[in-house]
Chains A and B, each alone.
Chain A
């Protein structure tokens, strides 16, 4: 119990630290001197905090947390440690949906009553649901092994990437340059509303599944045992996967493909505290938020004075870890 408390406190402290550091990081490095300028009421610096850094830090936390929760849910109900929005192709499917909305439906032109980002999100969610149901079908009907399911995810991800490229091939140049962002994953577009919307999906999802953490634990004992304990396995699996793909679709439609956070965060928690979902679900989310904050800080200072899209960075950090997990599993 003490260890769990300790880990939780350390995680919270680390994430809060990253959050604060993120607020004081510019493309020229970390500079706490900005605090004095905020107190002095420097208009420019205030604008930078209000329009750029605060939205960026908030969205980094909530997007990272959403992706990590999404990954933790997928890993739990698919009983597959390699499952995540990125490895199952769900992120790529969301990106296709978003590209479809922008290029084919021209969602950002003024024809639509709803705002463009709403249409884009709906399409991203729709496409990710298609991918989710294919994964669920493959996992259940064909009794696929864990590794095979990931291979299926690779295939589905490649298919959706190809479909995105197909759309881009016929799009106007400006649409192409606009959709280019998804393949990078970029936090600089984020505003306060983006983080509020992501938070509005993330917080209820976390609370809802946190109250039902024992069902995921029961699932670990096997489907039979879970059913004996009164868990409706099918409903839990479908429900969790739908919420997981919604979490992923929302972040992708606003920020682009940010890989590996959803995979790594639950793994690190599991390594430290084991598989109990009471701690795994909330702590994965906090760690995911912290990791994306950290990645975003690095992305701003790694090539001064340029800002590297954060998706490139998470892939750099995540891919080696994914390979490590794969080989470790074999041994």
Chain B
């Protein structure tokens, strides 16, 4: 009898051995069927892993179903509208801890939360909180590259949720895309990305150093900063750099159009505007970074240098892999490649 007890204890100990999350915390997981996603981007990574139906509660702002975050195409609207609301959602805002306790999930996945907040939520609810990461300046380790953090987060979710195959499938696909992009095109032009959303829509001067789409293609980002992540530059700096090609994030479209009206002569003096080398890209950030759009944008950028690339086909393939073939049709097929 004693022997059996010892074996049982040993098995349960092995099963609940701690894992290291993306903030290097030791988290002990006992069960993995009911889960919650808290903070910008947590639900995105879970839905890439096809776990959107395991969530037992939802943040209020996810209910907008706004497809500027393409992963929301994957959410079953009628289902999630019946889920209890665990808080407003958004960086810095705490969830409703009482609701979380009464839902009694097995695991909480958190993204873009401070270490203090994560520990506090875990201490109060007694439910293991696993920190995910979108890399530097998006709630992750300083100067840690975005796509690497994403892959590590996906593989962490995979091992916790017994979905290692899906994690491997996604990561392999991401690696394949990256290899393809690395050899796709060459250019010595000066590239600039503007209109990057950061906690809401922003204008032309909102940029990103180490913008992943440029890096994947091996193109020179005209914004050089040692710090990886979001950066706000001055108009004068942009005039001084005078990029050859400007890409603008659709999220900032309204603000950008206003800016172009009010400072028309200034912006129109830039080489890119004079040569009609200004193009829209899909939203990079909307409730944290849209990973599928990072790859799609990379192909769009490449197609502006090498027009032979079949964007429509590639876009469908990427959506299919991240979001599933039934859902990729939901995403609007607007022709965003022209700029007026």
Q: Which A residues lie at the B interface, using CB under 8 A?
A: 26-27, 44-45, 47-48, 51-53, 108, 116, 172-178, 180-181, 186, 188-189, 191, 305-307
Q: Which B residues lie at the A interface, using CB under 8 A?
A: 60, 84-85, 87-88, 91-94, 96-99, 101-102, 104, 112-117, 120, 123-126, 137-139, 142, 199, 230
The residues of A that contact B99 with a CB separation of less than 8 Å are: 26-27, 305
A52 x B97 contact (CB < 8 A)? yes
B92 x A307 contact (CB < 8 A)? no
Q: How far is the CA of A109 from the CA of B205 in the complex (A)?
A: 33
| Known A108-B116, A172-B137, A178-B114: A26·B98 in contact at CB below 8 Å | yes
Q: How far is the CA of A116 from the CA of B87 in the complex (A)?
A: 26
The residues of A that contact B97 with a CB separation of less than 8 Å are: 51-52, 188
The residues of B that contact A186 with a CB separation of less than 8 Å are: 94
A173 x B91 contact (CB < 8 A)? yes
B124 x A191 contact (CB < 8 A)? yes
Given contact pairs A48-B98, A172-B137, A305-B85, enumerate 6 new A-B contacts (beta carbons under 8 Å).
A51-B125, A116-B116, A177-B91, A178-B92, A306-B87, A306-B88
In the A-B complex, the 10 residue pairs with the closest CB atoms: A177-B92, A180-B92, A177-B91, A178-B114, A51-B124, A174-B114, A108-B116, A305-B85, A48-B101, A52-B98
The residues of A that contact B116 with a CB separation of less than 8 Å are: 108, 116, 178
CB proximity of A88 to chain B, nearest CB, Å: 27
Q: How far is the CA of A53 from the CA of B117 in the complex (A)?
A: 18
Q: How far is the CA of A188 from the CA of B101 in the complex (A)?
A: 14
A174 x B139 contact (CB < 8 A)? yes
The residues of B that contact A52 with a CB separation of less than 8 Å are: 97-98, 101, 124
CB proximity of A272 to chain B, nearest CB, Å: 35
A189 x B94 contact (CB < 8 A)? yes
Q: Find the B residue at minimum CB distance from A42.
A: B102
Q: Find the A residue at minimum CB distance from B85.
A: A305
Q: How far is the CA of A301 from the CA of B92 in the complex (A)?
A: 21
| Known A52-B101, A116-B116: A307·B138 in contact at CB below 8 Å | no
- Interface hub of A48, A116, A176, A191 (most chain B Cβ within 10 A): A48
Set A45, A176, A188, A306: member contacting B92, Cβ < 8 A: A176
Q: How far is the CA of A181 from the CA of B114 in the complex (A)?
A: 12
Q: How far is the CA of A195 from the CA of B218 in the complex (A)?
A: 55
Q: Find the B residue at minimum CB distance from A110.
A: B115
